[in-house]
Structure 1
Amino acid sequence: MLRRRGVTTAPARGQRWRPVAYTAVGLASLLVLGGTGYAWTQLSRLDTGLATADVIAPSAQVPSGRASLSVDQNILLVGLDSRTDVQGNPLPQNVLDQLHAGDAEDGGDTTDTMIVVHIQAGGGSATAISIPRDSYVQIAGGHGKHKINSAYTYGKQAALDTLREQGLTGAALERAASAAGARTAIETVEDFTGLTINHYAAVNLAGFFALSNAVGGVPVCLKEPVHDSYSGANFPAGEQTLSGAQALAFVRQRHGLPDGDLGRIARQQAFLSGMAQVVLGAGTLANPVRLSALIDAVQQSVVIDQGWDVLTFAEQMHSLSAGAITFATIPVQSLSLATPYDGDAVKVDPVQVRDFIDALLGRSAPSTSTSSTPTSAAKQAAETAGAPTRNPSATVSQTPSTDLSGCVN
């Protein structure tokens, strides 16, 4: 039985690594703060300021303290299309206007981004696996088959009536319902991927805005100029540095991209590569003003699971180098699957996805398919991880990992 509590505050500290997708910015920022002795001393400011949610099942929780260093861990990172802050308070309209996010009622609390980061025991390697937001899957909790980005919404909405009957209102109601949404999203990802989720981290629209501003902008490169009225993306071709609303538009755009969600994933991976370089550089960690702004942004922007010993997790990350990180996207079968109620979705095969993940992570256990041999797509993905992403056609068997060194669409 999962515990049903809302968002609270709890101690947290950090160290460095390179995740992917905009939701990872907050957690990345938190973890890189241990990069220097000066930065480490600043982490005490997070002790009473980091929001947490009780969303991980007891059976999935890793051992506390140093014992956690000896086990593999899977972290679900989500980016919420939410119009509230981490404490459940509505974002002011002037902030939404800056974010090109419409009105407070436009959000819907879907997860714009979902990534599972697998950390090897001891911290020697990490694999970041992106899941397209429109993947058509079975939603946990008996909600039927829908796009995976709606799992959070279904869980949250299902909990609201019960929580109101318990007398919760306002921000407290929002926090408790959000925790229920997170639990449904976690269970859905577990059922779909076959992975047990041990940790959870989320950031909303305003959080990404603050974090990208705090580091002074992130370098990106575009192959062609873009103009998208939906996301607000309006950029020339070539190299440029983005922050705030511009950065958010860059990673949210999917209309007008050759491959829709898959194109956006490539954007997010490239952006986070640049973000990691900026945060890990001496220009951020050795700059008291910028570092202070980054810590403030993390406090205001990031929600992690209750009980996560981030300080010990940081110790696990000491041996992780940039070259030891694999970036990948699950295989998809079609980008235009017609659905009864959700419009066009991304067609995915859970068996193929699990085989892909098994091959990617070097697992020897057989899958639930009729054959214990991983699919050829999974084998190819595992062998070519790190190769440039190819533009998929309407029907594709797998998407290779993104080349983070070049320009993107």
Structure 2
Amino acid sequence: MSEIDETHDPARTSWVESANGHPDFPIQNLPLGVFSVGKQEPRIGVAIGEMIFDLKGASAAGLLDDHWKLALGLSTLNAWFTHGPDDARELRRKLSGLLSDERYRPSAEPHLVRAATVEMHLPCDIHDYTDFYVGIHHATNVGRQFRPDNPLLPNYKYVPIGYHGRASSVRVSGTPVVRPKGQRKPPDAEAPDYGPSRRLDYELELGIFIRCGNELGNTIPIGEAGGHIAGYCLLNDWSARDLQAWEYQPLGPFLAKNFLTSISPWMVTAEALAPFRKAMPPRPEGDPAPLPYLLDEADQAAGGLGIELAVTLETARMRAAGAEPHVLSKGEAATAMYWSAAQIVTHHASNGCNLQPGDLIGTGTLSTAEESGLGSLLEISQGGKAPITLPGGETRSFLEDGDELTLWARCIADGAVPIGFGSCTGRILPAT
């Protein structure tokens, strides 16, 4: 588990003036991402206020350690992830010093780029993507719609449930969401038909990036799993609920999920989240304890993620009228997750599956126990039975063409400077 050090000092400020008081990217954050300017090759950078610090340029200028130069000079973070947690902590210390100490300003300032002028890319080459189902309130809410008397299956409280997603359709925030097509079978129909999804939905999730993985046939002990996590992003696993309802038995999600997964461009590092860790929620009385390979006292004490989450919706009519987006939900990751990030990683590798640097893992939809913190329209509209009314009088059970959906995340804790994730946005386009 990452520790709090001088890089988290609330008194530390940056000579990059826009960083001081920035809602997402103060000097206490320093998230990593990949950007380009014009026709320039993508390169690794760090968000600092309204600017991006170019690590390729800084490395070439001798501002960073020589043994980091090759990995930080590439166009993805995959090679950097192989450096492991020790180098990640040292890079964070180095960047914090460069961007806070006025003595470094003359040499570092030429490597700043205004964030508003760049194009953001995926942080790494994502070769494998796995989506879990650790949001127990979401699992219960969805299960209740299909199995009112038995919403959670018996394995849920023993096994972190997951499925392998489609890495090729993971895209960076802002990529349009083309309404998917597939087989749909309404309850009153005798046979399915094929066409655009009528029940397009979002899923509020966190993404977990794997740092150094494990060899095929080996496992990752629960006490070491935190060191295999490079950082986190926002993740929206867009879902076609009508396709899903018809196809998911007996093998689970397929075309209803694999058409697009959106992630936010900046990876908030595991080190940056140290002040916002909290205890995992106690298991309800009568629930089984995790099996020994999934149980670690340190993880139970500080494996929870104190990340505040929110979702906003802007319809085409709202956009034309200049109206503010409507807040669909607000919640917190720690209270939504039945299994911790470390437990997810350990379980994924527990059969000898080899995780690799840059692999992406989704938490699954993070809904809270309160109605104000539900993480999908499937839950908010109760499967379409209770449409929501927006401020302008429009109603929604599921997403319509022209709707723009945005995920937000921010970390707030006593004695710490708040940090954020930026946003993860997608606008729905008609089916092709």
TM-score over 0.5 for the pair: no
- Give TM-score, length-normalised by structure 2: 0.26
- Larger relative helix fraction: 1
- Larger relative strand fraction: 2
- Give TM-score, length-normalised by structure 1: 0.27
